[in-house]
Structure 1
Amino acid sequence: MSPLTDQIRALIAARQLAPGARLPPERTLAAELGVSRSRLRETMQQLISHGLIVSRRGGGNFVAPGSAERALEQAMQPLQPLAQAEGGYWQDVMEIRKSLEADAAYHAALRADDLDRQRLQAALAAVCAGASDPETQSRADAAFHMAIAEASHNLVLRQVISGLFDLMRVSIAESLSKLHLLPDTVEKLNHQHQAIAGAILAGRADDARQAATDHLCFVEDSLRRIETETARARRAGALRNKLPQGKQPA
């Protein structure tokens, strides 16, 4: 899914368009979103292929009734408050990411077509270009992993990862903001992304799975290291505050 698809989905949610409701005409919608009509048509085709939009000849585009993705998003909604309130939730997210994304990379290496490869290369370039800014890189990082899911051509896998997208986006943003504190970590992440993409583009399925697994294990290990060092610094600070003046350790 592209950022434009997220905009359209947000518009549907903001206007509370129920299944079966008609979307604004193409010209109106393109103007509201600030995009060309050709780009909007291309994105609409993606939404139609995902079962989110139904197109009726001569009648326009409509919100699809009872889509699988909508049901999955509703199932994920109770997790959003927990994800925002519970600091350690990233460990649960990381467990499911390691399972899903390793399989997605494996199947993408076997099934990616020319368009998938172009999108993956563009996503890789974007994630490397945004390395200096955690917020920009978090969006690009999520888009990179979604490009791999798209290239897997596994409809169930793609739908599950897409349904988890918002939760993963929170996880990725939180993780990258912490990882940027470690020296050389951004460069290592870029090399890992390049290894994943390179294996997929070369059709090396086993290597792609391993590269994705190595990448997520590195992220998990780094986050645990940060948590350990943060806890140690917190304990040291608490100790200094309790010691009488003149008796603080050198």
Structure 2
Amino acid sequence: MALVLLFLLGPLLIAIAVAFSSGERIGFPPPGLSLRWFADALGNEQFRDAAARSLWVALAATVISVVAGTGAAVALTQGQGRFAGRAWVQAFIMLPLAIPGIVLGLALLPTAIMLGLRPGFWATVLGHAVVGIPYSAYLVLAAFAQYDPALDRASASLGVGPWRSFLRVTLPLIRPGIVSAAICTFLLSFDNVALSLFLSRGDTLPLRLMQHIQFTATPAVAAASVMLVLLSLGAMLMLGRVLRGRGTIRIAG
């Protein structure tokens, strides 16, 4: 068990040590400790611009992924969604998860160009959403697995219309799945490298970090990476709180 933990956490611990290095180049062990590279990473205009671009791409991709993924999950589980070919449709929705990112990026690039989208913001959003939608659908479907259809019939017997029933009964109970989908798809988009290589102009944060380490290789890359890890850990803690929570139903009001 200790060897497994060392294998999993070893690279991260080395990156943290390098981030606090007082040296001029990436190396381990560091010659001394310093916070200068965190200040350098935060003050780097290219890093800041790339982080802002990654943030907006991730937010746009998350909105598209969650809306489309939730809609797909609702269609597959509610009302007429229980049809004979449901398993095949669900497998088709999940298909992008089985395709390597490089292959998917290579396929999406000409597709985006055919749609009039040159490599840039919206092409990157489209690519990230293609991967995010299956994750969103899967997580919302998992929430629906705990959903009792008898609640729909009960709300209908109280005179509640289908749309109001969805907002007051269904949505609160699947909300943890929707929030989980938003968190996961945001992180997937923000950290994505493979699709961004093909669909962006190299201006997302992960690609900027790759370029920086190729040409200058200062510990500022490690410092920025540590901050990204902290962002991911914060998101995972938030996800844990969501999964521990329970939806509530409110019909009257």
Q: Would you say same fold, with TM above 0.5?
A: no
Q: Which has the higher contact order (CA 8 A, sep 6+)?
A: 2
So what's the TM-score if we normalise by structure 2?
Answer: 0.26
So what's the TM-score if we normalise by structure 1?
Answer: 0.26
